[in-house]
Structure 1
Amino acid sequence: MSWIKVVPFEEATGKLRKLYERVTGPGNNVDNIMMVHSLRPHSMEGHMAMYKNVLHHSANTIPKWFLEVLGVWVSALNRCDYCVEHHFSGLQRLLADPDRGNAIRAAIEARTPQTAPLDPAQIAAMGYARKLTEAPAELTESDIEALHAAGWEDGEILEINQVCAYFSYANRTVLGLGCSTDGDILGLSPNNSDDPSDWGHR
């Protein structure tokens, strides 16, 4: 499941047990990306707080399905199959249009997001996400101006930036520790966006 020791749910005690109980899905399933933090529960707590607030918060204005598209795109660019599979499953559930979801994934896999069934503003966001992921030091104010020209407001640009930054963090957690999807239930997420403290996966 990973290259480092992981404490399973049934052996967890104290703070770790309480955190596991907060992030469980069906049958007390805990995603491996969370379990890989088990030797340092405080880092799991930080990870979940960031994930919940960046991707699953009711104050976001960008549709959650498109935030998931950005996550799948960044994860594909970072060659993180774990996050691609998890978040593509979540994207499909949120989008509720399998053909469109598959077409988006095909464009991502071909590294041609401009061919995806997305609107021009979303395609511009995909371009920003690529540059932020692959060449962040090359970003300039003109990249933000291009997002403005495409119709994004500053708060939305912040959402895009934070989702992309979060996924690069998550990808490196997974890739750097050998985290696999073995035993995971793909596509679950903390969907109670109105309560930042509700981390339960459904």
Structure 2
Amino acid sequence: MRVTTSLMKLGRLSLSAKFLVNISYGNWRLPRAVLGRKEYGTDSDSPRPISRYPVPYKKDLPYDLVELMEEVEKKGGFVPNVFKALAHRPSEFRAFFAYYDVLMNKETGNLTKADRELIVVATSASNKCPYCVTAHSALHRIYSKNRMLADQVVVNPELADLSNRERAMIEFALAIAKPENITETHFQKLEEHGFDREDAWDIAMVTAFFAMANRIAHLTDLRPNEEFYALGRVPKVKNEEK
């Protein structure tokens, strides 16, 4: 099953195969004990709904959304709750994940995947967004192979064990997130650590997009999947164990 790769072609969701790999956490798989297939929908055995807005049932969703969500579940073992919550507005779902793909899977510039996820963590912590902090801390742990740094940034970025390069990047992101008046001094500090003007744009766009995502999560009272808490903290499941 393959999701279309041309942007918004024929109204279908435009996401690259690489996006599917990233959003489903690469080759990470959760232990079978914590996996469980559930249909989408507002009804839940959880004591707290994942969203304060209705979550559409799978049978009521457009085919392209179901196709993507099934692909993500197949690759990662579960469907992140943001997919289910945004399915309340299918057109906005498509637009959101199309722009996510553009920002987070860009192959040019000096930002690594771990850099982008750390920017999301810092931005989301500043905006007090439990869903994005939890989900993207997991992704940062996977890409960076560092199990502690995202947690440190969430608690206090000034005391986190950041490299000088990472600190300059996070300081710039937080200036955008607050927001501050951005001056040439902000750009100069980045340039001292190898970031050019296009990199500054990338940092700012990731920050701005996830500041929006944080607000959506607050609006919907979006709850993190329990599975995120273990990702990047437990060993990979070997192929023969799958």
TM-score w.r.t. the length of structure 2 is 0.66
**Structure 1 residues 111, 122: closer, same or farther in 2, change over 3 A?**
closer
**Structure 1 residues 8, 46: closer, same or farther in 2, change over 3 A?**
same
**Amino acid of the residue matched to residue 89 of structure 1?**
A
Q: Describe the SS at the equivalent of 1:150.
A: coil
Q: Describe the SS at the equivalent of 1:36.
A: helix
* Counterpart mapping for 1:1-202 below 5 A: 1-21=50-70, 23-26=72-75, 29-98=78-147, 102-112=148-158, 115-136=159-180, 138-182=181-225, 185=228, 187=231
Shift of 1:183: 6.1
How many angstroms apart in 1 are the aligned matches of 2:166 and 2:139?
Answer: 18
Over alpha carbons, which structure has the higher Rg? 2
- The answer to whether the Cα contact below 8 Å between 2:134 and 2:228 also exists between their aligned partners in 1 is no
Identity of aligned residues (%): 21
Shift of 1:45: 0.7
Greater per-residue helix proportion: 1
- The answer to whether the Cα contact below 8 Å between 2:141 and 2:150 also exists between their aligned partners in 1 is no
How many angstroms apart in 1 are the aligned matches of 2:199 and 2:84?
Answer: 31
Counterpart of 1:191 in structure 2 is none
- The answer to whether the Cα contact below 8 Å between 1:74 and 1:164 also exists between their aligned partners in 2 is yes
* Matched length: 182
Q: Describe the SS at the equivalent of 2:108.
A: coil
Alpha-carbon RMSD: 2.5
**Amino acid of the residue matched to residue 149 of structure 1?**
E
**Amino acid of the residue matched to residue 124 of structure 1?**
A
**Amino acid of the residue matched to residue 173 of structure 1?**
I
The structure, 1 or 2, with the larger RCO (C-alpha pairs under 8 Å, 6+ apart) is 1
- The answer to whether the Cα contact below 8 Å between 1:75 and 1:168 also exists between their aligned partners in 2 is yes
Runs of at least 5 residues in structure 2 that lack an aligned partner in the other structure = 1-49, 233-242
- The answer to whether the Cα contact below 8 Å between 2:173 and 2:207 also exists between their aligned partners in 1 is yes
